[in-house]
Structure 1
């Protein structure tokens, strides 16, 4: 996940020191300690550091872990591991795509590792796939160290735009059937991706009947972020729903997905299903999982929608 855009002005007093991912490796273990989940951490044993450089936007680390394969870390936060990435990539892509009866043009914002592209490319009816990733280094690093995800770039329907996703949408009004935002957590520059204006930009860039699907954070950790966002966009979108997927390497082992529609109804039931060959290739998504992912624990349902 990556799309640090619309960078806000910083002051010397408020700007923390840049994160150095290598500093989070202690005694051969990488320790993820995020400011959004104080009091808990996730650790992986490191076999080898494969890459660690600071790009124009963020600190990028790739390491080979003992049990999760290669791991991509941005500013100290795990984005992708080879072991469990499919649980996220499949669900953020296929929930909106299979909810849509006939998607032709798809926009991916962020997602520089290529995993979302890989899943979108499984839909033969999609004619154009655009991706806006502002950090070109994430793309190049992923192609080298995460080829199983980055193979999504090989599809001839894919066009890569190294630029701000919001500005791209301003130039492409009512253009896309599905918009997928694969973002990092709402810290620093990424916080704009969890605010109402960004969702308004996506709405304007959708065609009638279109669907947006965005990384929606964890119900165990960030209900105070999820609920205000859902409330703020309900007046504009025809429907706003929350689904989730289980992924061990993300905080609390769960990540949410916000699905919102333009001039159409719910996404809870798939309008199409994977053919037999595609379903055999998928490791997490199915038509049954599609519907089940919208069934929230009672506390989350009440907190978000009541």
Structure 2
């Protein structure tokens, strides 16, 4: 909400206690809850999107890992629902797991996303507290002319400093789409039936 180009944000959170705990213990990260741009809904995200068709320009899903109830957020049916909740040229960004640990899941997600959207990309960032130190994003657009790889706005160093950005800049944006070879092959071709996982990851599973 700190970005001037963002006019409004709608958050749907299933657990109200998450909001309360964030405000109490993560005040620096929860500062956005005081913004007049934010509309907060407490409830199930599936039901919320079913009630809001063609309503959003951007949908961001920051989910937990695909275990238990959260597993449904990594299925084709969820992406179909998000597609109907997006406006004509809408885009979505969803938690895409780690290329070092969940390559089969990423491959599966990319394949069904390609059947739903004309533009699909996988990107990643580094977060030391996550397993392997990385987490990925599945990016999809209803507009066939979308180019996720190039920043829409080229930020100058002055803009980066004025916005107090600690991680993001235009170079980091481009670098997020440069994948190691084993992941690039899956991202660009699918390579059905071929073992593209890194050797150390396979060894760890076998052990």
Which of 131, 155, 159 does residue 35 from structure 2 map onto? 155
- SS of the aligned residue for 1:215 comes to strand
The whole-number CA distance in structure 2 between the counterparts of 1:272 and 1:177 is 17
Which of 163, 178, 186 does residue 303 from structure 1 map onto? 186
Corresponding position of 2:197 = none
For the Cα contact (< 8 Å) 1:241–1:259, is it kept in 2?
yes
Query: Residues 25-63 of structure 1, C-alpha deviation per residue, up to 9 Å, x if partnerless?
Result: xxxxxxxxxxxxxxxxxxxxxxxxxxxxxxxxxxxxxxx
Using the size of structure 1 for normalisation, the TM-score is 0.59
In the alignment, structure 2 segments of 5+ residues that lack a partner are 190-207
Using the size of structure 2 for normalisation, the TM-score is 0.86
Larger RCO (alpha carbons 8 Å, 6+ apart): 1
Deviation at 1:194, TM superposition (A): 0.2
In the alignment, structure 1 segments of 5+ residues that lack a partner are 1-120
Deviation at 1:233, TM superposition (A): 1.5
Corresponding position of 2:64 = 184
- Stretch moving more, 264-273 or 128-137: 264-273
Corresponding position of 1:249 = 129
The whole-number CA distance in structure 2 between the counterparts of 1:278 and 1:164 is 37
- SS of the aligned residue for 1:172 comes to coil
Which of 125, 130, 142 does residue 5 from structure 2 map onto? 125
Deviation at 1:236, TM superposition (A): 1.3
Structure (1/2) with the larger strand percentage: 1
Residue 78 of structure 2 is aligned to residue 195 of structure 1: no
Any runs of at least 4 consecutive aligned residues in structure 1 with deviations exceeding 3 A, and if so which?
273-278
Query: Residues 88-144 of structure 1, C-alpha deviation per residue, up to 9 Å, x if partnerless?
Result: xxxxxxxxxxxxxxxxxxxxxxxxxxxxxxxxx122122221000101111101100
Number of equivalenced pairs = 186
Q: CA RMSD in A?
A: 1.3
